[in-house]
Amino acid sequence: MISVYRGLTQSSINTNRQNFPRRSLLPIKKDALWQIDNGFVLTYTYLEDGTTVALGLWGPGDVVGEPLSKMKPYQMECLTTVEATILAVDDWHQLTDTLLHHIHQAEQLMLIRSHKKVEAMLIQLLGWLSKKFGSQVEQGRLIDMRLTHEDLAGLISSTRVTITRLLGQLEQEGLIDRLSLNRIVVRQEDIWYYEI
């Protein structure tokens, strides 16, 4: 990963790396970005009535920061404990690739949210999360992000109560397994053929 830091030495990279506790906010810096080394970050804005609107979900290797968005306000919440490295925008030579990555993720979330039924949105979201962030286990793909039902609801503009009910239904139907600490195993073969 060091090759992406043009002009930075290993010791300067280590001094730019910081740890953040779960549910804390990454500091907003007008001239800097954060590269996530470990953990998961939700970027969001909120409406005048306080409604949160998820802008993206990011993990190891992803880069986030206010210079990548025109949204005001713009927040970056650590969904887990996060280790991140601060990068000066002027030194970040992969800005175009990073912007394209953000656009691609925005398009994916837009497609997921375009379904008429919350159930369909949730199934698509779980499939996307399992592909992007999941790891292969015997039963399917493990989403080990410890997303709460409220986190999932925020990603698709639903309610925690609805997500809790739908997760229970998907588990009863054998499409997912819910494990402790809000981890979910998506049974890949089954979820894509699910009749909505």
Which CATH number does the domain housing residue 18 bear? 2.60.120.10
Q: How confident is the model at residue 191 (pLDDT cuts 50, 70, 90)?
A: low
Give the pairing of strands 41-46 and 52-58. Answer: antiparallel
Number of domains in the chain: 2
Q: Which of 87, 110, 133 is the last residue of a domain?
A: 110
**Are β-strands 52-58 and 75-78 bridged in parallel, bridged antiparallel, or unpaired?**
unpaired
CB 58, CB 68: distance < 8 Å = no
Q: Which of 110, 142, 159 marks a domain boundary?
A: 110
Considering the domain architecture, whether residues 26 and 92 belong to the same structural domain is answered as yes
Instruction: Tell me whether residue 71 is in a domain.
Output: yes
pLDDT tens-digit map of 95-154 = 889 999 999 999 999 999 999 999 999 999 999 999 999 999 999 999 999 899 999 999
Order of all β-strands in the sheet with 52-58: 52-58, 41-46, 75-78
Determine whether 34 is exposed, middle or buried from the number of CB atoms within 10 Å of its CB (0-12, 13-18, 19+): buried
User: Cβ distance 80 to 20 under 8 Å?
Assistant: no
**What would the pLDDT profile of 2-55 be if each residue is shown by its tens digit?**
334 334 444 444 568 999 999 999 999 999 999 999 999 999 999 999 888 999
In a domain, 196, yes or no: no
Whole-structure pTM value: 0.83
